Structure 1
């Protein structure tokens, strides 16, 4: 089979690999669509993974082989599946912190989504695999995993009907959060970014206001929009550590902040600690998704409550993965979500 194998920065090779053999309870899936995630791009650009490796995890495909004792799925089924799965029994899982489970990071699909065929291990089949509705395309299904990640983050928050929400970053995650907040009844959703194109996509997704931070001061903009009150909820959807300090300045008394995107491991941010006591603000972190978010994400997309089609700007073949990386990292290119196809 063919796969796009990462060897080094700027060195992704489209080459032949042995097609995986499946074992007891496992499933072999033919990849039909795989989203290019920001974490994939980060790994490629900063070489945070040990090469050679096949990346990709936002996968949709069709089952071509089923192992012994697989009862819920059959050859020909159109499916979604996740790459990580928790143990459900450790102290973290018992508290609902599924992504902190050590088993979560140890589990994975093989060899990765950017390949023609993928072996899905037994735990992933049992706990994360779902048949996708007939009215849902493979491309739409590639958006299930990122939407599930957003749902996992939203579940940490207390977003009430009529709240105001600031989403910092108008990338694919920011646009998903924008739609989610509107769906949950936020009265005013504000999206900030430096990209005119991405801010236009935010407006298309239902944002009530946008702030181009290359032209306008964010804190002053929020004060103007909220008449000095501040924002109820801020979501940091881009990996810029200084936004944490800005978000603390933007939120109202009793407000909450979700740190969704990862910061540089060496970054240090000074924030006004008095606000925790005087104003009872809250800051939450969120990483990845749980197995309990996937069926909800599928339902939201299949029922068009969340429109992911307008987010997909490019469809690129597997043998041109490096081209996809180049497009998404080029600020002159108008790209939002890139889907890789066989």
Structure 2
């Protein structure tokens, strides 16, 4: 089969490799579409494996069941499946409490990667624990692939109760920031302020309900947000980018008693300098966000495949797997909002 093999930072080579064998209690999925995620790009352009190469990344996976094991009876050849990469035990205290995203026994390697290829093997254990959803015949594979990146966004906005009348600041106008703006409007947010250093990305974000744009490369974003909110600050601020500076600035954009979310992961080992005295006296709540529970993943997937959800606005580029490096550059430059790769082309 064809696969995009990572041999090191910025060294991704599309080549022929052995097709995975079918687990006795599992299946082999023929990958029809796989989204190119910001975390994939970060992993592909850094020493993410610490020298343990080659490796196949890709986790926004949808496809068709191509082969089933003798001991697997839940799915049949030809079934169209969406694969949520999280695999939770549903037995630990976190899972039982409804926060499976914090699962103590999370099994990361069952089906959480390997999507930049034409086929991927799904184990019986993954099938047993769940996170696999059927794709209706009238839904495109490209649209269904948005279910994964939408999941964490959906969970974040639900967890901090973004809703009617809110003023929301989103720092980072990439794919995740655009998803956040669209969902925020669906949840009744009154005003969305988008902050970024890339003018092209900012302009593209208007398509998703953004009310005000702030180019932080040209003006002080803290001052701009305070002007737009009459000096009060926003109800909620989400730092959705890998920037320590953005995290430090975010607390000065939120109103007293407001909520700040650190959504984007910053470089490992880096530290963000924060004025904790200001946080203390302003009654600011800070929350870190990562992942989503099983129920949130299912709801986000159902939203992604809803006929009223504008998936076509997010997917700006579809490319064959051979052009994965082009997709990386399109995303990094800000020309693309969402790149979806088609391994069978």
Selected match of 1:176 from 176, 179, 203: 179
Aligned counterpart, 1:12: 12
- In the TM superposition, what is the alpha-carbon distance from 1:18 to its structure 2 partner? 1.9
**Aligned mates of 2:113, 2:245 — CA distance in 1:** 36
| 1:270-309 correspondence runs (5 A) | 270-309=273-312
TM-score (norm 1): 0.93
| 8 Å Cα contact 2:8-2:46 kept in structure 1 | no
**Aligned mates of 2:322, 2:154 — CA distance in 1:** 32
Aligned counterpart, 1:65: 67
Q: Find out whether 1:161 has 2:164 as its counterpart.
A: yes
User: 1:78-133 deviations in whole A, cap 9, x for unaligned?
Assistant: 11012231111123323444233343253332870011111112233241111112
- In the TM superposition, what is the alpha-carbon distance from 1:150 to its structure 2 partner? 0.9
Give ranges in structure 2 of 5+ residues lacking alignment: none
SS, match of residue 83 in structure 1: coil
CA 91–295 in structure 1, closer or farther in 2 if over 3 Å, else same: closer
User: 1:227-247 deviations in whole A, cap 9, x for unaligned?
Assistant: 011100011111001111211
- In the TM superposition, what is the alpha-carbon distance from 1:174 to its structure 2 partner? 0.3
**Aligned mates of 1:91, 1:205 — CA distance in 2:** 38
Root-mean-square deviation (CA, aligned residues, Å) is: 1.9
**Aligned mates of 1:124, 1:290 — CA distance in 2:** 15
**Aligned mates of 1:253, 1:104 — CA distance in 2:** 37
SS, match of residue 105 in structure 2: helix
| 1:1-342 correspondence runs (5 A) | 1-49=1-49, 50-109=52-111, 112-126=114-128, 127-329=130-332, 331=333, 334-342=335-343
| 8 Å Cα contact 1:82-1:124 kept in structure 2 | no
CA 111–221 in structure 1, closer or farther in 2 if over 3 Å, else same: closer
- In the TM superposition, what is the alpha-carbon distance from 1:57 to its structure 2 partner? 0.5
**Aligned mates of 1:24, 1:268 — CA distance in 2:** 46
| 8 Å Cα contact 2:147-2:302 kept in structure 1 | no
| 8 Å Cα contact 1:132-1:298 kept in structure 2 | no
Give ranges in structure 1 of 5+ residues lacking alignment: none
- In the TM superposition, what is the alpha-carbon distance from 1:319 to its structure 2 partner? 1.9
CA 77–248 in structure 1, closer or farther in 2 if over 3 Å, else same: same
User: 1:144-176 deviations in whole A, cap 9, x for unaligned?
Assistant: 101011122223212231111001000000000
User: 1:297-331 deviations in whole A, cap 9, x for unaligned?
Assistant: 222122245422212122121122222223323x3
TM-score (norm 2): 0.92
User: 1:213-270 deviations in whole A, cap 9, x for unaligned?
Assistant: 1222111111111101110001111100111121100100110011111012222222
| 8 Å Cα contact 1:85-1:123 kept in structure 2 | no
